[in-house]
Chain A
Amino acid sequence: MFELLNSHYNYFAVMLLLGIGLYMLIESRNLVKKVIGMNIFQTGIFLFFITLAFRTGGNPPIIKEGGGPYVSPLPHVLILTAIVVGVSLTAVALALIIRIYTEYGTLDEDKLKQLYYD
């Protein structure tokens, strides 16, 4: 078990981050905190990708004479764009939250449910 932890530590962190994000998405009653949870979940997946791209003794993928070996550039590109798309997603979610607040006057999930069904 300790061997595994020593050679796969980032993957354990990924799974824990996914768990924390999921917990916030399910359990937080405040909508803003749900969005924070979604971001933590997202970052967990990013960590998974970047860890897979890493190799011991690798250099950043900036090609130069005798610079190798390099880490894999492809996951970096995917995550780079995913981060920027993530902030756009968050911004739209926050705009919706502001809209919900002006309509209902609360961000509490339970109160919103009550107001919606009344």
Chain B
Amino acid sequence: MSSDERTGLYVESTIIMTTVRVVAPFVLTFALFVMFHGANSPGGGFQGGVIAGSVVMMLAFAYGIDAAREWLDVRVVAALASGGVLTFAAIGLGTIVLGGNFLEYHLYEQFISHVVAYAIELVELAIGGIVASVAIGLFFLLAAGFGHAVDAPEDES
């Protein structure tokens, strides 16, 4: 599909733009609430991450996918995804370094008290980062489709 047809995906609508402008901060707050409060109420990293990702999708629907793509820094998305995996793995492997099993949070107790709750919170945040950034990334990828890569030579057939 050619690029001029693709821009036809976007229809500018004052109603949608105004609604999104009002609703988006609340949705993001709700996402963060779900992520941080997952320890004591329903919620957690997976749910919060998906809701946070949907904020960017809302903005993209209201202001156009290309505008949202320019506004969003790719490096932040990539850093969230890989940083999340690395944080999770580091927390897990850290306890092995301290002589325990994988993710045996109690071993961190010697440094910080009540560390188990904090460590679980951090793991949830890492999961939230991975899920949110991958959801955003997949959204932009599928919106772009195939064939808009940087001078990708089509040598195979």
Contact = CB atoms under 8 A, between A and B. Distances in A.
Indicate whether A and B are direct neighbours in the complex (CB within 8 Å).
yes
B146 A102 contact: yes
Contacts of B147: 102
Given A60-B42, A62-B42, A99 B146 contact: yes
Contacts of A60: 42
Interface residues of B, number: 15
Contacts of A91: 138, 142
Contacts, number: 26
Contacts of B99: none
A84 B50 contact: yes
Contacts of B125: none
A88 B134 contact: yes
Contacts of B105: none
B141 interface: yes
Given A62-B42, A81-B46, A84-B50, A98 B138 contact: no
B18 to A, nearest CB: 29
A95 interface: yes
> Of residues B40, B41, B134, B146, which shows the largest number of chain A Cβ atoms within 10 Å of its Cβ?
B146
B153 interface: no
A80 interface: yes
A contacts with B: majority SS: helix
Interface string A92-104: 0011001100100
A91 B42 CA distance: 26
B145 interface: yes
Nearest to B137: A91
A99 B142 CA distance: 10
A62 B146 CA distance: 45
Interface in B123-138: 131, 134-135, 138
A98 B146 CA distance: 7
Nearest to B144: A98
Interface of B: 40-42, 44, 46, 50, 131, 134-135, 138, 141-142, 145-147
Given A84-B46, A102-B147, 19 more contacts: A60-B42, A62-B42, A80-B44, A81-B46, A83-B46, A84-B50, A84-B131, A87-B135, A88-B134, A88-B138, A91-B138, A91-B142, A94-B142, A95-B141, A95-B142, A98-B142, A98-B145, A98-B146, A99-B146
Interface of A: 60, 62, 80-81, 83-84, 87-88, 91, 94-95, 98-99, 102
